């Protein structure tokens, strides 16, 4: 009988684990596993290659769950995903969590459809192909997608959100459903450098309607979003030292999160493992 994937309270979200040098990625993933992070999250939105990287990372880790944040429904067929999952060993399935999402209209273009209807059809296809719901979660920001994530999967994986959003999401999901927000981390005490890193991380996302709409629901103004105000940056990122990171993680947990996946921001196109791994170690020492 399928059981929920164990992801612990703190994980790492990293584009570098997927798109960086594979050998260095494997070494870093093995260390993150040994450090005690409960889950390693990798992006999947731009292509259909993430399942292969999930398989690779499962092979170099022993305990941590490997999760996607997110698989783009426009890049995959439900039956193919279910068949791929079925091909994993029982032990690998127990550590695999597939986060899926509908992406964004400006990225998808003419194919774009109503997000809830598109997601329901995709989930129907996964159900028909026998994909366990316990191994699925949804990229969800708005109330309706959050509700759907609780009804049709193990829970929700919101991205670029605040602890206030986490509290609202928990109220919508109710008890017993996984809530695993991503939290951007900028380990930089110099305000100018920290702002530069935050601006680079937001440059792409702040132009997408889904995120703008969600930030407005959280009380940020158009001016906050267009100018990337200090208020917005402070809300979306944990900036400073590891104490600031620990405080933000606790704020999410207090608001109802089960798990917080930390994305250490090293630059708009990512950072080298030489830069990231010492920071991941420092966070582990403080939180794990």
* CATH number for the domain harbouring residue 139: 3.20.20.30
Mean pLDDT across 273-284: 97
Q: How many CB atoms lie within 10 A of CB 117?
A: 10
| Sign of the CA dihedral running 43, 32, 176, 217 | negative
Mean pLDDT of the chain: 94
Q: Backbone phi, then psi, for 42, in 5-degree steps?
A: -125, 150
Domain count, the chain: 1
Asked whether residue 2 is domain-assigned, the answer is: no
Instruction: Tell me the DSSP string of 180-212.
Output: --EEEEE----HHHHHHHHHHHHTTGGGSHHHH
Residues spanned by the domain of 267: 10-287
The pLDDT of residue 252 is 98
Asked whether residue 107 is domain-assigned, the answer is: yes
The pLDDT of residue 2 is 73
Q: Exposed, middle or buried, 240 (CB in 10 Å: 0-12/13-18/19+)?
A: middle
Is the pLDDT confidence value at 154 over 70?
Answer: yes
Asked whether residue 260 is domain-assigned, the answer is: yes
Mean pLDDT across 247-263: 98
Is the pLDDT confidence value at 111 over 70?
Answer: no
Is the pLDDT confidence value at 110 over 80?
Answer: no
pTM: 0.95
Is the pLDDT confidence value at 104 over 70?
Answer: no
97, two tokens = 């969590």
Mean pLDDT across 238-251: 97
Asked whether residue 4 is domain-assigned, the answer is: no
Residue 109, C-beta contacts closer than 8 angstroms, at least 6 positions apart: none
183, two tokens = 């939290």
Is the pLDDT confidence value at 112 over 70?
Answer: no
Q: How far apart are CA 277 and CA 288, in angstroms?
A: 15
Q: How far apart are CA 276 and CA 255, in angstroms?
A: 28
Task: Return the residue matching tokens 């550590």.
Answer: 95
Mean pLDDT across 145-156: 98
Mean pLDDT across 208-221: 95
Asked whether residue 5 is domain-assigned, the answer is: no
Q: Which residue in 120, 111, 13, 115 sits closest to 68, CA to CA?
A: 13
Q: Exposed, middle or buried, 106 (CB in 10 Å: 0-12/13-18/19+)?
A: exposed
Neighbour-count burial for 167-206, b at 16+ CB within 10 Å, e otherwise = bbbbebbeeebbbbbbbbbbbbeeeeebbebbeebbeeeb
Is the pLDDT confidence value at 105 over 90?
Answer: no
Q: Which residue in 175, 145, 174 sits closest to 158, CA to CA?
A: 145
Helix (H) or strand (E) holding 115: helix 115-128
Asked whether residue 112 is domain-assigned, the answer is: yes
pLDDT bin (cut points 50, 70, 90) of residue 113 is: low
pLDDT bin (cut points 50, 70, 90) of residue 106 is: low
The answer to which of 4-8, 110-114, 263-267 has the lowest mean pLDDT is: 110-114
Q: How far apart are CA 168 and CA 176, in angstroms?
A: 15
Which residue(s) pair with 179 in the sheet?
Answer: 156
Mean pLDDT across 201-220: 92
Asked whether residue 266 is domain-assigned, the answer is: yes
- Number of DSSP helices (H) and strands (E) in the chain, helices first: 15, 10
Asked whether residue 1 is domain-assigned, the answer is: no
SS3 44: strand
């Amino acid at each position: 009988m399928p059981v929920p994937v164990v992801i612990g309270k703190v994980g790492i979200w990293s584009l570098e684990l997927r798109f960086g040098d594979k050998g260095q990625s494997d070494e870093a993933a093995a260390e993150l596993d040994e450090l005690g992070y409960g889950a390693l999250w990798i992006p999947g939105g731009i292509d259909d290659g993430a399942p292969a990287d999930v398989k690779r990372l499962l092979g170099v880790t022993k305990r941590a769950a490997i999760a996607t944040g997110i698989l783009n429904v426009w890049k995959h067929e439900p039956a193919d995903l279910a068949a791929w999952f079925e091909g994993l060993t029982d032990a690998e399935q127990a550590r695999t969590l597939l986060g899926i999402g509908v992406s964004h209209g400006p990225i998808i273009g003419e194919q774009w459809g109503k997000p809830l209807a598109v997601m329901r059809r995709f989930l129907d296809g996964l159900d028909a192909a026998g994909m366990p719901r316990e191994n699925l979660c949804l990229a969800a920001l708005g109330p309706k997608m959050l509700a759907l994530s609780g009804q049709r999967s193990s829970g929700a994986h919101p991205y670029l959100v605040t602890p206030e959003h986490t509290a609202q999401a928990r109220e919508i999901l109710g008890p017993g459903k996984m809530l695993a927000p991503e939290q951007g981390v900028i380990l930089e005490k110099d305000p100018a450098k920290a702002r530069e890193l935050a601006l680079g991380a937001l440059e792409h996302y702040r132009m997408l309607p889904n995120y703008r709409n969600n930030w407005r629901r959280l009380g940020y103004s158009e001016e906050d979003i267009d100018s990337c105000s200090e208020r917005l940056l402070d809300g979306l990122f944990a900036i400073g030292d590891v104490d600031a990171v620990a405080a933000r993680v606790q704020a999410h947990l207090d608001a109802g999160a089960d798990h917080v996946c930390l994305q250490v921001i090293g630059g708009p196109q990512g950072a080298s493992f030489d830069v990231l791994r010492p920071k991941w170690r420092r966070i582990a020492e403080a939180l794990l």
